[in-house]
Amino acid sequence: MLYGDMSAFISGLGSLESGLAVLPMSPTWCSLAVAWVQRPAALGRLVNWLTDRLLLRDSVLLTLTKGEAHEMRLLGVYREQKGPSSLQLLPTQPNSALGLPRLASTERLLLDPAAWGQFVGGTPHPGQGPGFLDESHTLGEAMRIRRVTIGWDDDGFGAQPFTTWCPFSVEGSDCVTHRLLNLHVHSKNLAPFMTCGAVPEGTVEQRIDLLQTAQAFFEDEYDHDEW
Amino acid sequence: MYSLRQAHCTNPQSQIVLVAEEKAWQEFLLAVASDDGDEAAMESWVHFVPLDTLRTASSKHRMLNSLSPFRKRSNRLWHTAVERLAVSLALFDLGVIHYEVGAYVQCGITAALG
């Protein structure tokens, strides 16, 4: 689900050395939830590389990906083999190498590789409802240790998600807030996340309920003394 | 359909492209009509591309789709996002989407109905 003008966002990032950028999920995984293709050749190179890898036998592919034979790990392998400048990473956290674009407002912007959408809406899998964190993801771990939280700036139509980042356990003025330009709603229960246009009835209440459920689950699940 | 509508609402200058089987597109329009009766309005801004067009026009798309994970691998971690990558390349080649303009590309009707 998109919550802003992607073209303006991309303009704010400037030129890409690689011609192609995707979302980082962890040090070894990337997501295609949002991709920025600046040059046709870069996309062609990646698709050709993926096609070649898919021709491999399962056992070879498992070895290549160290047991994680899926496209997220393969994108990580592509970066490892070709170098980080071959496939750049769009900003999902404040320390992004590409910097953080702004829209008309002064707020800086981030993208969701799946972590926030999974946290607020859960996933389709049993036992992974609102409040779910995948701790193998960088953002999931940052959330678990309470360096970052998510919220909505408005409970009505036009609402937009935001994240607040705090350096380690410091609260207050040292924390910084960024708008999220998308939510990767893994559960595919999308209606509550609709914020403009023909908004289905009751979505505002559903959205508030989901966020509160996620936060309550998080409070119960994670030990406050850990950080 | 919510993701398509949200994308159109927040990015009115961008192309919203749905790639699927022709029959599934008709089913999608019926679902939209039964949801809010706004079938005609949605049809006016969703650019539908039949999967057969890509199969015919793009050798890369044929190649990737004939391979894993779409045929034999069933690891649930494989995402259709990789299909969207191949589809996007084919759409660029066909001139349906353009590098200088943003595009929201959705593959398959199941995801589009959400």
Q: What is the pLDDT of residue A216?
A: 92
Of A47, A70, A197, the CB nearest to B85: A47
The tens-digit pLDDT sequence of chain A (227 residues) is 999 988 888 888 888 889 999 999 999 999 988 988 888 899 999 999 998 888 888 889 889 989 888 889 999 999 999 999 899 999 998 888 777 777 666 678 899 998 999 999 999 889 999 999 998 899 988 888 878 889 998 877 778 999 998 876 555 567 888 999 999 998 989 999 999 887 888 899 999 999 999 999 998 887 655 54
Q: Inter-chain contact B5–A198, Cβ cutoff 8 Å?
A: yes
For residues A30 and A24, what is the distance between their CA atoms, to the nearest angstrom?
4
For residues A162 and A144, what is the distance between their CA atoms, to the nearest angstrom?
17
Q: Which residues contact B73 (CB under 8 A, 6 or more apart)?
A: A58, A69
Q: Which residues contact B38 (CB under 8 A, 6 or more apart)?
A: A198, B32
Asked if B108 has any chain A CB less than 8 Å from its own CB, the reply is no
**In contact, B65 and B78? CB cutoff 8 Å:** no
Buried b (16+ CB within 10 A) or exposed e, A22-41: bbbbbebbbbbbbbbbbeee
Nearest residue in B to A39, CA atom? B99
For residues B12 and A14, what is the distance between their CA atoms, to the nearest angstrom?
22
Asked if A206 has any chain B CB less than 8 Å from its own CB, the reply is no
Of A39, A47, A190, the CB nearest to B114: A190
For residues A114 and A112, what is the distance between their CA atoms, to the nearest angstrom?
5
Nearest CA-CA distance, residue A139 and chain B, Å: 18
Confidence tier at B21 by pLDDT (50, 70, 90): confident
- Where is B52: in which H helix or E strand? helix B51-57
Asked if A190 has any chain B CB less than 8 Å from its own CB, the reply is yes
Q: What is the pLDDT of residue A227?
A: 45
Indicate whether B71 pLDDT > 60. no
Indicate whether B94 pLDDT > 80. yes
Nearest residue in B to A184, CA atom? B3
**In contact, B52 and B22? CB cutoff 8 Å:** yes
